[in-house]
């Protein structure tokens, strides 16, 4: 294993840790130097560590600095939520298991590099032989790592598609990894659903997130093709309660009652696939549910403030639960309107079902009918979707008044393997072992 810190440590960001991490980056860069572009990105990353140290001293997760790629769990789940998202799913085009494995290995090496603020591959954007196409597309040259995380997940169709065992993986499919049931009111677009492999790229710089996905797609050319993709801005959930809670496009604070990165007891009980869970290859991993949810903001904007607050179950200014004063006051079910979103979704009314939300707002232009195609790209991690997202959404789909203002238009479920623990390991190696 490398001497880099793992992403398990990345939540405790002291100036000392920041310095250690900066040294780790410098070491990796020096070993990999083969083109000018490395020097450029590396230098920016190191300079940024100064700024990061100052921020860390103030107790905030440093921006610009890398979030460690290696660790027992993948980064991008229980790590601080960045500002921007580029989520993409891929369909695997090859039928050859060896080619799929080679791709996952190449992707892992590229992901390690990009999350450290380096180009995707050695040789980078400016290869020594200019007659060759560059190995990196170049748009992130000069940009710091910007807390880039890349998180991979495998969809049910990777294991079996059209009754066919494609890569000898059918017997390895987790029982919990089934297509989500159709929920009441679903208006899903098949072109925005499913996918054999999903990659969630999060970063504080949209260009860094887009660069990462683009370069993975480029490396995968001929082996995988992009199925669907979603850009997101403005995180709608936080995993760091010491930071200001972000607001969604309905104007409400979102993510108040989300598990925090340092709440290891909750994460172990509800988010990570546990040491006794099956299948063994997924232990330390998690399940991701993605839902593209259109928000009918024009209708919402004509709804009174009182009604908006009644629907959510929290007040809009402070974010306090109904009948209470402060955002962090524990929700009192007795004071909640009987059909409020919060009352219907909270663990206490769902047999303890707890999910880690990591969603983003989106505006994908307009719909041709004078309305913005805007919404919330809902991402939620959990130990098992059968006891996490599915029962909560079944209840919300039946009773949530919020349904008058939202439409679910895209969907996917993915098994996210454990983290890559060192430079000799790769994304999904436990699945193919
Ligand atoms: C099935 C899970 C959920 C979906 C889908 C969902 C969509 C959705 N939510 C909001 C806005 C808010 N949600 C809030 C809380 C909240 N939501 C869920 C689950 C889903 N939301 C949970 C588990 C919780 C936490 C409940 C609790 O424990 O108190 C809030 C309140 C602030 C907060 O705690 O995060 C808001 C606001 C929208 C707009 C939306 C679809 C577009
Ligand atoms: Fe919600």
Centroid of ligand 2 to alpha carbon of 312 (angstroms): 8
Query: What is Dmax (Cα atoms) for the chain?
Result: 70
Query: Does the pLDDT value for residue 46 go beyond 70?
Result: no
More confident call, 330 vs 237: 330
Centroid of ligand 2 to alpha carbon of 90 (angstroms): 27
Centroid of ligand 2 to alpha carbon of 341 (angstroms): 7
Q: Which numbered atom of ligand 1 lies nearest the CA of 255?
A: 35
Residue 8 binned pLDDT confidence (cut-offs 50, 70, 90): low
What pLDDT sits at residue 418?
98
Over residues 289-336, the pLDDT tens digits come to 999 999 999 999 999 999 999 999 999 999 999 999 999 999 999 999
Centroid of ligand 1 to alpha carbon of 167 (angstroms): 37
State if residue 73 touches ligand 1 by the CB under 6 angstroms criterion: no
Give the residue, out of 257, 347, 376, 406, with the most ligand 1 atoms within 8 A of its beta carbon, to mutate for a pocket test.
Answer: 257
State if residue 390 touches ligand 1 by the CB under 6 angstroms criterion: no
Over residues 154-164, the pLDDT tens digits come to 999 999 999 99
CA distances from 325 to 311, 314, 329, 330 (A): 18, 10, 7, 10
Stretch 374-396: mean pLDDT: 98
Stretch 49-60: mean pLDDT: 35
Query: Does the pLDDT value for residue 423 go beyond 90?
Result: yes
Residue 145's nearest CA partner among 99, 191, 197, 203 is 203
Query: Does the pLDDT value for residue 16 go beyond 60?
Result: no
Q: Whose CA is nearest to atom 35 of ligand 1?
A: 255
Residue 86 binned pLDDT confidence (cut-offs 50, 70, 90): very high
What pLDDT sits at residue 5?
61
Stretch 96-115: mean pLDDT: 98
Stretch 37-65: mean pLDDT: 40
pTM: 0.90
Stretch 208-225: mean pLDDT: 98
State if residue 320 touches ligand 1 by the CB under 6 angstroms criterion: no
Stretch 2-11: mean pLDDT: 54
What pLDDT sits at residue 32?
32
Give the residue, out of 240, 254, 319, with the most ligand 1 atoms within 8 A of its beta carbon, to mutate for a pocket test.
Answer: 254
What pLDDT sits at residue 64?
63
State if residue 174 touches ligand 1 by the CB under 6 angstroms criterion: no
Residue 6 binned pLDDT confidence (cut-offs 50, 70, 90): low
Averaged pLDDT score across all residues of the chain:
88
Neighbour-count burial for 227-257, b at 16+ CB within 10 Å, e otherwise:
bbbbbbebbbbbbbbeeebbbbbbebbbbbb
Stretch 17-22: mean pLDDT: 27
Centroid of ligand 1 to alpha carbon of 114 (angstroms): 32
Which bound ligand lies closest to the C-alpha atom of 344? 1
Task: Provide, rounded to the nearest whole percent, the portion of the chain with pLDDT above 70.
Answer: 85
State if residue 250 touches ligand 1 by the CB under 6 angstroms criterion: yes
Residue 4 binned pLDDT confidence (cut-offs 50, 70, 90): low
Q: Which numbered atom of ligand 1 lies nearest the CA of 249?
A: 39
Least confident window among 26-30, 73-77, 329-333, 337-341: 26-30
What pLDDT sits at residue 62?
62
What pLDDT sits at residue 237?
85
State if residue 345 touches ligand 1 by the CB under 6 angstroms criterion: yes
ipTM: 0.99
State if residue 256 touches ligand 1 by the CB under 6 angstroms criterion: yes
Stretch 348-352: mean pLDDT: 97
What pLDDT sits at residue 66?
92
Residue 65 binned pLDDT confidence (cut-offs 50, 70, 90): confident
Query: What are 233's strand-pairing partners?
Result: 84, 361
State if residue 396 touches ligand 1 by the CB under 6 angstroms criterion: yes
What pLDDT sits at residue 159?
98
Q: How far apart are CA 330 and CA 2, in angstroms?
A: 42
State if residue 172 touches ligand 1 by the CB under 6 angstroms criterion: no
CA Rg value for the chain: 21
Query: Does the pLDDT value for residue 34 go beyond 50?
Result: no
* Residues with Cβ within 8 Å of residue 314, at least 6 apart in sequence: 252, 253, 256, 320, 321, 322, 342
């Amino acid at each position: 294993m490398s001497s880099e810190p793992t992403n398990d440590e990345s939540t405790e960001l002291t100036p000392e840790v920041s310095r250690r991490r900066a040294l780790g980056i410098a070491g990796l860069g020096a070993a990999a130097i083969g083109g000018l572009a490395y020097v450029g990105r590396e230098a920016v990353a190191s300079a940024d560590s100064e700024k990061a140290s100052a921020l860390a001293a103030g107790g905030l997760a440093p921006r610009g600095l890398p979030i460690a790629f290696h660790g027992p769990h993948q980064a991008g789940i229980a790590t601080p939520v960045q500002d921007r998202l580029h989520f993409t799913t891929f369909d695997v085009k090859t039928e050859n298991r060896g080619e799929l494995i080679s791709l996952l290995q190449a992707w892992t090496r590229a992901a390690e590099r990009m999350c450290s603020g380096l180009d995707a591959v050695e040789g980078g954007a400016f290869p020594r032989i200019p007659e060759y196409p560059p190995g990196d597309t170049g748009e992130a040259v000069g940009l710091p790592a910007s807390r880039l995380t890349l998180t991979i997940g495998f969809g049910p169709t990777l294991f079996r598609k059209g009754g066919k065992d494609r890569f000898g993986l059918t017997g390895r499919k987790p029982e919990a990894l089934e297509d989500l049931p159709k929920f009441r009111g679903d208006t899903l677009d098949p072109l925005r659903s499913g996918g054999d492999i999903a990659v969630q790229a999060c970063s504080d710089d949209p260009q860094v997130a887009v660069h990462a996905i683009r370069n993975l797609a480029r490396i995968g050319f001929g082996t995988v093709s992009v199925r669907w993709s979603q850009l997101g801005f403005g995180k709608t959930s936080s995993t760091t309660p010491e930071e200001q809670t972000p607001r969604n496009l309905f104007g409400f604070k979102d993510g108040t009652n989300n598990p925090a990165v340092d709440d290891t007891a909750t994460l172990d009980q509800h988010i990570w696939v546990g040491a006794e869970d099956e299948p063994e290859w997924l232990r330390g991993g998690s399940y991701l549910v993605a839902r593209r949810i259109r928000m009918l903001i024009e209708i919402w904007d004509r709804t009174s403030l009182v009604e908006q607050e009644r629907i959510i179950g929290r007040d809009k200014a402070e974010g306090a639960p109904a009948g209470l004063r402060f955002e962090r006051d524990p929700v009192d079910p007795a004071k909640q309107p009987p059909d409020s979103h919060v009352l219907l979704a909270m663990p206490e009314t769902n047999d303890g079902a707890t999910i880690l939300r990591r969603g983003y707002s989106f505006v994908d232009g307009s719909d041709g009918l004078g309305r913005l195609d805007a919404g919330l790209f809902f991402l939620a991690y959990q130990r098992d979707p059968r006891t996490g997202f599915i029962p909560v959404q079944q209840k919300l789909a039946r009773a949530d008044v919020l349904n008058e203002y939202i439409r679910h238009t895209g969907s996917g479920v993915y098994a996210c393997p454990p983290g890559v623990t060192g430079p000799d390991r790769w994304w999904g190696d436990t699945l193919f072992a």
